[in-house]
Amino acid sequence: MTFIEKLNHSWCESNSLLMLGLDPNPDRFPAELSGRSGAIFEFCKGIIDAAATFACGVKPQIAYFSANRAEDQLEALCGYIRDHHPKLPIVLDAKRGDIGATAEQYAREAFERYQADAVTVNPYMGFDSLEPFLAWRDKGVAVLCRTSNPGGSDLQFVKSSNDKPLYIHVAELVSRRWNTNGQCALVVGATFPEEIGKVRQRVGDMPLLIPGIGAQGGDIRATVAAGRDSRGAGMMISSSRAILYASPEDDWREAAARIARATRDAINAAR
Amino acid sequence: MTFIEKLNHSWCESNSLLMLGLDPNPDRFPAELSGRSGAIFEFCKGIIDAAATFACGVKPQIAYFSANRAEDQLEALCGYIRDHHPKLPIVLDAKRGDIGATAEQYAREAFERYQADAVTVNPYMGFDSLEPFLAWRDKGVAVLCRTSNPGGSDLQFVKSSNDKPLYIHVAELVSRRWNTNGQCALVVGATFPEEIGKVRQRVGDMPLLIPGIGAQGGDIRATVAAGRDSRGAGMMISSSRAILYASPEDDWREAAARIARATRDAINAAR
């Protein structure tokens, strides 16, 4: 099954557009995990087992694993998800981008080592930097377009000569030229719903990966109104910290489940 | 000592502008290393011990380590360089870029885990995505500007409303606004010497990291003419594959040294 097929199935079966983001920061773990070896795996496993039923997919952020010398725990976690939550697509959030020969290695990292279903990539280096990812034809490739952070405007809002901002140029490049195999998605931040709408207008039913609700403060109603596709789906709306760190106490799993369910419901109420 | 001080010392003492790129691909290793555990470390160590005397610094490309589950070998390699070649700055080629909280983790990966002197980063997400790297004030931050690959033009050549291509916008943002602590460098490809010259005109004596000679075919004379700073230095001209894989036989170390020396000399002849 391709990433897009798996995602479509998951949207239907889970009745959720919530993407469960995994940004495991050991400084914020509950006391029972503090200082334990394998704590990153255990924390993520606890969150997934409690909250994954309210999500359409899982998005581990590789930086948190790499900074903590925990690539082995990320491998184990991806294996655990495949074994115990096989219907949930895994989107590796890595934002890779490099020349072709190097991008081949990054594609192997994402798809061979971690066996992710999709990976996030950075478009700054252009099409040939994404081709090695696209060569994995069953996999998904989510291209940064309009990011959720304030500084995103520094480049993404640069107006080209026909008055088109760079993020629109990227959306058009991806939808009209780069997505020849129908495996691409675009990353657009929930903090800018107006721009989500402009992207949606141009890309048909291409899936959008939308971070920025939760800790970053994006508005769910505006996001869903702007981002839904022709079937009322088409979005992976990601929340990480608001769910992961819902409680610092022993009830961290239940608290994560509660917030995940409430977030799913708030998204569905806006569909 | 800061990265910039270390680099200035190294340029003087080594009399070289060559940056030794480490893109270790086990498929291309000499037979004596084939299939051995720790082969990536051993290969890189062999290359460095043979060729580092002709270089002003070392640039490991992290993708090759990550794809091969070899982060521990990259840690060991960085430690080896610090112990045995302490004057050589280590530039970790990782091209990271993410929102602030995540970029903090990537900065820890580069500067705490690998103890690199500098890291390459991607500007697409804007200033706040680079701030966590810049907060390490002794470290260097090399920002992608005009990359050496053909597809680089897809975004980097987008003309803004005042007819300025995006890569010039990036060069100006970095030199005028982002480089408040004097720790930045820019990445510009040797495959586009005319654009190296345009960047140099705008950034004073800021160091340029220049990949694209060697396997990618960039012209050394044109690169040096366009890229040198007011002291005839200012460049880290990177070559990886042409040196690493100079010979597939038992003389791989000597062949690497020969090509590194010839490359250094060709660069110096053009200064």
Strand, coil or helix: what is B96? Answer: strand
Confidence of residue A217 (pLDDT cuts 50, 70, 90): confident
Closest to A113 (Cβ–Cβ): which among B69, B98, B158? B69
Considering only alpha carbons, which residue of chain B is nearest residue A163? B161
pLDDT at A89 over 80: yes
Residues of A in contact with B151 (CB under 8 A): 125-129
- Phi, psi at residue A5, to the nearest 5°? -65, -45
Residues of B in contact with A158 (CB under 8 A): 158, 160, 166, 169
pLDDT at B237 over 90: yes
pLDDT at B171: 98
- pLDDT 10s digits, B83-115: 999 999 999 999 999 999 999 999 999 999 999
Q: To the nearest whole angstrom, how far is the Cα of B127 from the nearest Cα of chain A?
A: 5
Average pLDDT, integer, range A35-42: 95
pLDDT at A142: 98
- pLDDT 10s digits, B134-187: 999 999 999 999 998 989 999 999 988 778 999 999 999 999 999 999 999 999
Is there a contact between A156 and B124 if contact means CB atoms under 8 Å apart? yes
Fold type of domain A3-269: TIM Barrel (3.20.20)
Closest to A151 (Cβ–Cβ): which among B66, B129, B150? B129
pLDDT at A41 over 90: yes
Residues of B in contact with A28 (CB under 8 A): none
**SS3 for chain A, per residue?**
CCHHHHHHHHHHHHCCCEEEEECCCHHHCCHHHCCCCCHHHHHHHHHHHHHHHHCCEEEEEHHHHHCCCCHHHHHHHHHHHHHHCCCCCEEEEEEECCCHHHHHHHHHHHHHHCCCCEEEECHHHCHHHHHHHHCCCCCEEEEEEECCCHHHHHHHCCEECCCCEHHHHHHHHHHHHHCCCCCEEEEECCCCHHHHHHHHHHHCCCCEEECCCHHHCCCHHHHHHHHCCCCCCCEEEEECHHHHCCCCCCCHHHHHHHHHHHHHHHHHHCC
Active site residues of B: 95
In DSSP notation, B143-200 reads EEEE-SSGGGHHHHTPBBTTS-BHHHHHHHHIIIII-TTS-EEEEE-TT-HHHHHHHH
Residues of B in contact with A64 (CB under 8 A): 102, 105
Average pLDDT, integer, range A40-68: 98
- pLDDT 10s digits, B254-263: 999 999 999 9
Quote the mean pLDDT of chain B: 96
- pLDDT 10s digits, A226-250: 999 999 999 999 999 999 999 999 9
User: Is the ipTM reported for this complex over the cut 0.85?
Assistant: yes
Residues of B in contact with A238 (CB under 8 A): none
Closest to A67 (Cβ–Cβ): which among B64, B113, B148? B113
**Across A210-214, B44-48, B74-78, B134-138, least confident range:** A210-214
Q: Is position A95 annotated as part of the catalytic site?
A: yes
Confidence of residue B217 (pLDDT cuts 50, 70, 90): confident
In this structure, chain B runs to a length of 271
pLDDT at B256: 98
Q: Which residue has the higher pLDDT, B184 or B212?
A: B184
Average pLDDT, integer, range B21-30: 97
Is there a contact between A101 and B23 if contact means CB atoms under 8 Å apart? yes
Considering only alpha carbons, which residue of chain A is nearest residue B25? A105
Angle of CA points A27, A24, A30, to nearest 5°: 50
Q: To the nearest whole angstrom, how far is the Cα of B108 from the nearest Cα of chain A?
A: 6
pLDDT at A147: 94
Q: To the nearest whole angstrom, how far is the Cα of B269 from the nearest Cα of chain A?
A: 28
Average pLDDT, integer, range A185-196: 94
pLDDT at A221: 94
pLDDT at A237: 97
Q: Choose from A22, A124, A191 for mutation: most chain B CBs within 10 A.
A: A124
| Active-site residue, selected from the candidate residues A59, A87, A95, A164 | A95
pLDDT at A70 over 80: yes
Closest to B61 (Cβ–Cβ): which among A102, A109, A149? A102
Average pLDDT, integer, range A36-49: 97
Is there a contact between A158 and B150 if contact means CB atoms under 8 Å apart? no
Closest to B122 (Cβ–Cβ): which among A97, A156, A158? A97
pLDDT at A209: 98
Angle between helices A127-134 and A100-108 (to 10 degrees): 30
In CATH, what is the architecture of B3-270? Alpha-Beta Barrel (3.20)
pLDDT at A185 over 80: yes
Confidence of residue A114 (pLDDT cuts 50, 70, 90): very high
Confidence of residue A214 (pLDDT cuts 50, 70, 90): confident
Asked whether the beta carbons of A109 and A60 are under 8 A apart, the reply is no
Residues of A in contact with B63 (CB under 8 A): 96, 98, 102-103, 105-106, 109
pLDDT at B238: 96
Average pLDDT, integer, range A143-164: 91
- pLDDT 10s digits, B190-210: 988 999 999 999 999 999 999
pLDDT at B216 over 80: no
pTM here is: 0.97
